[in-house]
C-alpha cells in the first residue's frame, strides 16, 4: 500500500468517526418533551437570546447595524422636517455616541405602562411613534425595534433627551434600567443624545468599529437627505483623530456624480438626469447618469432604507426605462423598422442610477428590509420615468444620441454574446462528454458533497490531481493570461478560451443564463500561489465571478485556498507556517537551527504536501468570500480592474500601509 492509499484509508476512517460521533450526538436526546420544556422570554431577553433575528449577525455586520438603527431614528426626525444635524462619534473603548437636534424622544408617562415614554422606547419591543400615530408620516424604522434592540445588545447605554428646557437622563445595563429617568440639567436646545457600548458577551468576534464602514453608510444617508448635515468623528486614537462631514444640497444627483467619479468613470453627459414626482403621501426621486463602462450600478431606497433586493420601485424603473428607449428610438428613427427592440440589459449598460421613494406604511420583507413590496410604487415610478425621461430626451437630443449610441453597441455585442452563449450552453451540460478536457472530475454526483479547485498552472494542477481525494474533489487547471472582464463586453467574456472551461465545469451558465440550481460543486475553491502573480489570478477570477456569476458569491460558494508560506523542519519533525509570525514561533518550538523552506509556488509542493497543507478538510485553512457591501465591492473592482490609471494609483497610495505579506 503506497502513501496515497494510506492517506485515503485514514481519510475514510476519519469521516466514519465523524459520522459515528454525529450519530451518537443525534440519538442522545432522551429527555421527555412536556410543558416544562416551553420557555417564555420576557422583555428584551429574547433579543439577547437570538440577536441574529434582529440585526442579522453578531459579527462585524451586526455590530455596525447597531449604529445604523440609532442614526436611522435621527434621520426619521429629519424626514419629519424637525432635524438638521446628526453627529456620530466613536469614543475610546469603541463606545458610540449619536446626537441630533430633533424634537427629543417624549419623556412623559406612558399611560399603558406607567413609565416614561423614553424608557418604553428603549426597553419594549415594537414600541415607538411609527405605528399609525401622527408623529411620523414617513419612517425607515418600520418595526419599532431599533432602539430597544441596541439597548438589549449593549453592555450599557445612556440616553439624554433635551426637551422643554431640561435635560432628562437615564442609564441602562444590558437592556435594563439601573436608575429612573431624572432631570440632570437645563438647556435651550432640543434633541436626543444616545451613547452605548456593544456587549462583548454578544459580539464575541469583535466590538471594534471600522471607520470606513460607518463613513460609507453616513455619506450615503447624507446623499439621500439633501441638506442634512452629518458628521463622523473617530476619537479613539488621540494621535490620529479623524473627522468627516457630509452635506449635499444636490441630494441623489450628487450621489450619482460621486459614484461615477469615485470609480474613475467618464460620464457620457455632464449633468445627471434628475426626475421627481409626488402623488399624495408618496414621492419618487430618480437620478441617473451614463458612463463609459460596461456595467450598471442601480441603487434603490425606500424611506432611506437601502433595498438591496430591489422591489416594486425598481421594477417600475426598469420596465419604463426600456419602454422609453424603444418608443423614442422608433419615433425618431434611431431604431429602423427591421431592428429588434433594445433589451433591458442594453439600455442599462454603463448606467449609474439611484432611486429613492418615500411613502407612508412602507411594506418591507423581513426586519432586514431588503425588498419593497408596495405595489402602488410600480405605477408611480413607471409613470415618472416614462413621461419625464421621454421629455428630457426630446429636449436634449445630443445627450439622447450619445446614450443611444452606447445602447446600440451593447445590443450588437449582446447578439454576438447570444451566439457565443449558445455555443457555451451546448458545451456546458452535466454529462462528462461535455466537460473541459483538462478537468479531473470527482466520482461523487451529489453536488452538496463536492468541491472543485481552480488551480493556476499545469504544474500545480498535476500535484493537486495526485494529492486530492478523487471521490469529492475535482481539479481544473488554468494556464496562460486570463481575461480581465472589467475591460471587456459580454461577447468577449463568453467566448474566452481561458474562462470557458470554468463555465463548462461549473455547469450553471453565465450572466442572464446563470442558474445556481445547476451548479455541479458546492465549494468553488481558487487555489493560486502565495505571491503577486497568484494574487492577480485570484483577483481576475473574483472579478469574473462578481460580474457574471454573482450568486456564487452572494450564497457563499466561493473560497480561497490558503497554502502555507513556509515549511519549518528539524530532523524528522516539521511544521507548516502561514505567516512570518507562525514561522518564528515554530522555529522556537523546534529548538532553533531549522532548513526553512519558502514556498513561492504551489508547484514546489509534492502531492502529499499539497494534500496535507491545503486540501485535506481535516486540517486545511480556507477563506470564504463574502459580500458585506455590494457598493464598496463594485467600486473596488472598477478602480482596481478598470481602464483608468489615476483612481488605481490613488487607491494604492491610500491603502499601501495596510498591505501584509507583500512578495515582490
Cα–Cα distance measured from residue 497 to residue 493, given in angstroms and rounded to the nearest whole number: 9
**DSSP assignment letter at 266:** P
Residue 176 contacts by C-beta under 8 Å, 6 or more apart in sequence?
Answer: 44, 123
Query: CA dihedral in degrees (502, 504, 508, 511; nearest 10)?
Result: 70
Which triple of cell numbers denotes residue 220?
450615503
Report the candidate in 227, 216, 167 with the shortest Cα–Cα distance to residue 193: 167
- Whether 531 sits among the annotated catalytic residues: the reply is yes
Cα–Cα distance measured from residue 121 to residue 517, given in angstroms and rounded to the nearest whole number: 44
pLDDT category, 661, cuts 50, 70, 90?
low
Answer with the residue of higher pLDDT: 590 or 639: 590
Instruction: Give the Cα-Cα-Cα angle 585, 588, 591 (nearest 5 degrees).
Output: 150
Answer with the residue of higher pLDDT: 578 or 101: 101
Which triple of cell numbers denotes residue 135?
408623529
Q: Give the other-Cβ count within 10 Å of 99's Cβ.
A: 20
Which triple of cell numbers denotes residue 285?
426621486
Task: Give the per-residue pLDDT at 43.
Answer: 66
Residue in 387, 531, 582, 616 annotated catalytic: 531
Pairing of strands 351-358, 297-302: parallel
Q: Give the other-Cβ count within 10 Å of 179's Cβ.
A: 10
- CA distances 500 to 454, 535, 642, Å, are 13, 21, 22
Cα–Cα distance measured from residue 463 to residue 477, given in angstroms and rounded to the nearest whole number: 11
Q: Is 581 helix (H, G, I), strand (E, B) or coil?
A: helix
Task: Give the per-residue pLDDT at 657.
Answer: 65
Residue with cell 479623524: 242
Residue 356 near residue 222, CB atoms below 8 Å: no
- Whether 5 sits among the annotated catalytic residues: the reply is no
Query: CA dihedral in degrees (351, 357, 363, 365; nearest 10)?
Result: 30
Task: Give the per-residue pLDDT at 2.
Answer: 46
Which triple of cell numbers denotes residue 146?
431599533
Pairing of strands 523-527, 451-456: parallel
The helix (H) or strand (E) run that includes residue 7 is helix 3-27
Cα–Cα distance measured from residue 1 to residue 549, given in angstroms and rounded to the nearest whole number: 43
Residue in 8, 327, 513, 533 annotated catalytic: 533
**How many Cα neighbours within 13 Å face the side chain of 169?**
9
- CA distances 593 to 45, 568, 580, 599, Å, are 56, 10, 16, 19
- 393-448 tens-digit pLDDT: 999 999 999 999 999 999 988 888 777 667 655 655 444 446 888 899 999 999 99
**DSSP assignment letter at 181:** -
Task: Give the per-residue pLDDT at 262.
Answer: 86
Report the candidate in 226, 218, 222 with the shortest Cα–Cα distance to residue 89: 218
pLDDT category, 640, cuts 50, 70, 90?
confident
**DSSP assignment letter at 356:** E
pLDDT tops 50 at residue 165: yes
pTM of the model: 0.73
Which triple of cell numbers denotes residue 411?
445590443
The helix (H) or strand (E) run that includes residue 218 is helix 211-224
- 577-626 tens-digit pLDDT: 888 888 889 888 888 788 788 876 676 778 888 898 899 998 888 889 88
Mean pLDDT computed over 343-347: 94
Cα–Cα distance measured from residue 648 to residue 603, given in angstroms and rounded to the nearest whole number: 31
The helix (H) or strand (E) run that includes residue 156 is strand 154-163
Residue 475 near residue 453, CB atoms below 8 Å: yes
Ranges 20-34, 190-204, 266-280, 362-376: which has the least confidence: 20-34
- 529-585 tens-digit pLDDT: 877 777 788 888 998 998 889 999 989 999 999 888 888 888 888 888 888 888 889
Which triple of cell numbers denotes residue 352?
449609474
Q: What is the mean pLDDT of the chain?
A: 84
Task: Give the per-residue pLDDT at 286.
Answer: 98
Task: Give the per-residue pLDDT at 127.
Answer: 62
Output the DSSP codes for 591-641. TS----EE--SGGGS-HHHHIIIII-TTT--EEEP--S-HHHHHHHHHHHH
Cα–Cα distance measured from residue 584 to residue 379, given in angstroms and rounded to the nearest whole number: 65
Residue 624 near residue 558, CB atoms below 8 Å: yes
Residue in 234, 529, 612, 635 annotated catalytic: 529
pLDDT category, 140, cuts 50, 70, 90?
low
Residue with cell 505567516: 579
Residue in 220, 456, 491, 612 annotated catalytic: 456
Report phi then psi at 341, rounded to 5.
Answer: -65, 150
- Whether 72 sits among the annotated catalytic residues: the reply is no
pLDDT tops 60 at residue 8: no
Which triple of cell numbers denotes residue 165?
428646557
Cα–Cα distance measured from residue 460 to residue 476, given in angstroms and rounded to the nearest whole number: 10
Ranges 19-33, 83-97, 184-198, 447-461: which has the least confidence: 19-33
CA 628 to chain centre: 3
**How many Cα neighbours within 13 Å face the side chain of 250?**
13
Amino acid at each position: 500500500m503506497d502513501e496515497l492509499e494510506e492517506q485515503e484509508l485514514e481519510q475514510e476512517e476519519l469521516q466514519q468517526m465523524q459520522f459515528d460521533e454525529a450519530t451518537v450526538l443525534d440519538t442522545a436526546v432522551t429527555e421527555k418533551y412536556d410543558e416544562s420544556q416551553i420557555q417564555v422570554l420576557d422583555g428584551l431577553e429574547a433579543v439577547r437570546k437570538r440577536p441574529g433575528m434582529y440585526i442579522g449577525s453578531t459579527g462585524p455586520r451586526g455590530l455596525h447595524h447597531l449604529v445604523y438603527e440609532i442614526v436611522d431614528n435621527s434621520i426619521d426626525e429629519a424626514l419629519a422636517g424637525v432635524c438638521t444635524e446628526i453627529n456620530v462619534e466613536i469614543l475610546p473603548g469603541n463606545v458610540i455616541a449619536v446626537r441630533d437636534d430633533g424634537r427629543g424622544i417624549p419623556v412623559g408617562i406612558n399611560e399603558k405602562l406607567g413609565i416614561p415614554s423614553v424608557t418604553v422606547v428603549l426597553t419594549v419591543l415594537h414600541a415607538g411613534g411609527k405605528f399609525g400615530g401622527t408623529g411620523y408620516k414617513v419612517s425607515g424604522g418600520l418595526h419599532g425595534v431599533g432602539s430597544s434592540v441596541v439597548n438589549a445588545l449593549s453592555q450599557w447605554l445612556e440616553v439624554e433627551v433635551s426637551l422643554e428646557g431640561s435635560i432628562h437622563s437615564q442609564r441602562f445595563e444590558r437592556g435594563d434600567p439601573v436608575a429612573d429617568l431624572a432631570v440632570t440639567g437645563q438647556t435651550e436646545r432640543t434633541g436626543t443624545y444616545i451613547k452605548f457600548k456593544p456587549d462583548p458577551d454578544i459580539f464575541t468576534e469583535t466590538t471594534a468599529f471600522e471607520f470606513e464602514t460607518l463613513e460609507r453608510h453616513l455619506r450615503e444617508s447624507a446623499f439621500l437627505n439633501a441638506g442634512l448635515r452629518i458628521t463622523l468623528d473617530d476619537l479613539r486614537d488621540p494621535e490620529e483623530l479623524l473627522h468627516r462631514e457630509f452635506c449635499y444640497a444636490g441630494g441623489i444627483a450628487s450621489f450619482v456624480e460621486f459614484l461615477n467619479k469615485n470609480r474613475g468613470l467618464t460620464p457620457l453627459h455632464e449633468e445627471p438626469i434628475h426626475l421627481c414626482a409626488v402623488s399624495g403621501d408618496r414621492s419618487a426621486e430618480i437620478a441617473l447618469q451614463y458612463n463609459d463602462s460596461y456595467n450598471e450600478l442601480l441603487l434603490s431606497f425606500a424611506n432611506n432604507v437601502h433595498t438591496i433586493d430591489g422591489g416594486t420601485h425598481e421594477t417600475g424603473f426598469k420596465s419604463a426605462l426600456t419602454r422609453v428607449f424603444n418608443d423614442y428610438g422608433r419615433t425618431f428613427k434611431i431604431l429602423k423598422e427591421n431592428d429588434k427592440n433594445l433589451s433591458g440589459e442594453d439600455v442599462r449598460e454603463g448606467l449609474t442610477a439611484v432611486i429613492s421613494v418615500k411613502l407612508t406604511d412602507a411594506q418591507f420583507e423581513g426586519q432586514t428590509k431588503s425588498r419593497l413590496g408596495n405595489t402602488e410604487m410600480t405605477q408611480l415610478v413607471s409613470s415618472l420615468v416614462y413621461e419625464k425621461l421621454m421629455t428630457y430626451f426630446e429636449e436634449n437630443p445630443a445627450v439622447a444620441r450619445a446614450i443611444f449610441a452606447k445602447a446600440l453597441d451593447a445590443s450588437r455585442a449582446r447578439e454576438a454574446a447570444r451566439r457565443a452563449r449558445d455555443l457555451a450552453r451546448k458545451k456546458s451540460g452535466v454529462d462528462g462528454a461535455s466537460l473541459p478536457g483538462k478537468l479531473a472530475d470527482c466520482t461523487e454526483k451529489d453536488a452538496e458533497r463536492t468541491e472543485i479547485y481552480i488551480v493556476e498552472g499545469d504544474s500545480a494542477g498535476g500535484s493537486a490531481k495526485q494529492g486530492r481525494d478523487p471521490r469529492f474533489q475535482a481539479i481544473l487547471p488554468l494556464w496562460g493570461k486570463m481575461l480581465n472582464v472589467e475591460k471587456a463586453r459580454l461577447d468577449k467574456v463568453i467566448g474566452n478560451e481561458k474562462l470557458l472551461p470554468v463555465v463548462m465545469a461549473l455547469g450553471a451558465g453565465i450572466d442572464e443564463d446563470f442558474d445556481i440550481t445547476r451548479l455541479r460543486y458546492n465549494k468553488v475553491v481558487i487555489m493560486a500561489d502565495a505571491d503577486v502573480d497568484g494574487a492577480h489570478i485570484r483577483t481576475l477570477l473574483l472579478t469574473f465571478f462578481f460580474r457574471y456569476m454573482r450568486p456564487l458569491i452572494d450564497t457563499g460558494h466561493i473560497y480561497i485556498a490558503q497554502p502555507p508560506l513556509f515549511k519549518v523542519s528539524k530532523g524528522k519533525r516539521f511544521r507548516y507556517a502561514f505567516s512570518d509570525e507562525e514561522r518564528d514561533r515554530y522555529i522556537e518550538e523546534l529548538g532553533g537551527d531549522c532548513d526553512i523552506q519558502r514556498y513561492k509556488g504551489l508547484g514546489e509542493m509534492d502531492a502529499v504536501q499539497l494534500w496535507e497543507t491545503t486540501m485535506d478538510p481535516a486540517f486545511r485553512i480556507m477563506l470564504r468570500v463574502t459580500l458585506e457591501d455590494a457598493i464598496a465591492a463594485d467600486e473596488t473592482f472598477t478602480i482596481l480592474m478598470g481602464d483608468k490609471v489615476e483612481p488605481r494609483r490613488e487607491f494604492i497610495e491610500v491603502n499601501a500601509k495596510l498591505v501584509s505579506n507583500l512578495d515582490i
